[in-house]
Amino acid sequence: MRKRMMFVVSAVACMAVVATPPGMAQTAAPKVLTPQQQKLRDCGAEWQKMKKEGRTNGLTWAELRRECLRRK
């Protein structure tokens, strides 16, 4: 009897999850970046822009990152 009850409860819970409309699903809050992560993201964007425009002047990502993080 107990096993059957657990099965029914599990089945109902699964159906409730599947039946939840997409708009009602809980969404995760946007992740807040630490200052160091934000600096690295900014430097990465700068690197991508420089690569796209062909302005790397022989710099590698590691070199630019080091220089960029010192400036910020």
Q: Which DSSP category does 68 fall into?
A: H
pLDDT digits (tens, 9 = 90+) for 42-51: 999 999 999 9
Q: Using 50, 70 and 90 to split pLDDT, how confident is the model at 17?
A: very low
Token duo for residue 16: 């409730």
- Classified as helix, coil or strand, 21 is coil
What share of the chain in percent tops pLDDT 90? Answer: 56
Q: Using 50, 70 and 90 to split pLDDT, how confident is the model at 72?
A: confident
What share of the chain in percent tops pLDDT 70? Answer: 65
Radius of gyration, alpha carbons of the chain: 25
Burial class (CB in 10 A: 0-12, 13-18, 19+), 47: middle
Does position 8 have pLDDT exceeding 90, yes or no? no
pTM: 0.57
- Classified as helix, coil or strand, 19 is coil
Rounded to whole angstroms, the Cα distance separating 43 from 72 reads: 9
